[in-house]
Every structure is written in C-alpha cells, then in structure tokens.
Amino acid sequence: MKKSLEHSALILNMNSRLFINALEGVTEEMAQDRISDHNNPLNWIATYLLGPIQYACYARKTYKEPI
C-alpha cells in the first residue's frame, strides 16, 4: 500500500471497530425505531455511514501503484 494511504486505512479500521462496538446489543427492532420524530432510525444512519467506508475499502483493494 502506498505510504500516504496507510494513515487513512488505519483510521478507517479504527472507526470500523468503534462503529461495531457502538452497535453491540442493538436489536433489529431497536434499529428500526426512531428516537424522535426529528431523526432517522439507526439502521438508516448506519447505512448512510457505511457507504463511504465500503467505497474506501473497495478502492483500497483495487488500488494499483502508478507506473
């Protein structure tokens, strides 16, 4: 991996672990409920947050060093 990407990869891995730990104990029913009328349910928020992480992981796997 290119040295300039190592710190970003480290941060993504740490954030992934933090995210998984934060969701520990949350049931499917809990994730579908809105805390109030002014916010989205947890499963929507989780999907919104995971999109960029999944893209970054995909980009990391397909990254090729420039010639």
For the chain, which residues score pLDDT lower than 70? 1-2, 53, 60-67
User: Can you give the residue range of the structural domain that contains 25?
Assistant: 3-62
Tell me if 12 is assigned to some domain: yes
* Number of structural domains the chain divides into: 1
Q: How much is the pLDDT for 26?
A: 93
d(CA 11, CA 47): 19
Tell me if 67 is assigned to some domain: no
Q: How much is the pLDDT for 5?
A: 75
Q: How much is the pLDDT for 9?
A: 79
On whether the pTM is more than 0.75, the answer is no
Q: How much is the pLDDT for 63?
A: 60
Q: How much is the pLDDT for 1?
A: 60
